[in-house]
Amino acid sequence: MTTLHHTSVNLPENVREELVRLLNRRVGLFTDLYVQTKLAHWNVRGPHFIAYHELFDSIASHLLVAQDSMAERAAALGGQAGMTVQAVAEESGLGQWPIETRQDSAVIHLVGDRLARAAGQIRQDIDTAANLGDADTADLFTEVSRQLDQDLWFVEAHYTE
Ligand SMILES: [Fe+2]
């Protein structure tokens, strides 16, 4: 159970607890997604190397911004922010990145798959936060969702089929 710090933010404590849990799960998800995207950035090989290498780094930087914003929203709501890497490994649900896969055509699809799953999750979170009466967290998730969709577009635009 989350232990909240005192705050004058006037959302009910049980609502803030639920939001903090949700935000921290997504902080964990984005921690995993960030590392996976960097593994793609470092290991990708093939004719599209430089385009993908640079694209993955750009996406990774967006993921860090989103991770930080979600963690800081959890803190602003009075919560403990973030999770340890050990907890991320247990809870992310993204699955282990196949580090042996290096061919550009395969790696771009792997990155797209991960982004799409995260994007679908965050889109649901917009409604969850809105239903809890927190327009600000819903707005934050909306911002994160919009960036993920754009990054997903940049990835999927490279698909040949
Ligand atoms: Fe780099």
Write down all domains in the chain, each with its CATH number in brackets: 13-156 (1.20.1260.10)
Distance 18 CA to ligand 1 centre (A): 36
Distance 41 CA to ligand 1 centre (A): 7
pLDDT at 161: 66
Identify whether the C-beta of residue 1 lies closer than 8 Å to the C-beta of residue 55.
no
Distance 42 CA to ligand 1 centre (A): 7
Calculate helix-pair angle for 104-131, 13-43, nearest 10 degrees: 170
Q: What is the pLDDT of residues 12-28, one digit of tens each?
A: 999 999 999 999 999 99
Q: What is the pLDDT of residues 49-60, one digit of tens each?
A: 999 999 999 999
Tokens of 6: 């005192």
Distance 60 CA to ligand 1 centre (A): 10
**Running DSSP on this structure, what letter comes out for residue 7?**
-
Distance 95 CA to ligand 1 centre (A): 23
Identify whether the C-beta of residue 77 lies closer than 8 Å to the C-beta of residue 20.
yes
**Spatial separation of the C-alpha atoms in residues 141 and 154, rounded to whole Å:** 20
First and final C-alpha spacing in the chain? 46
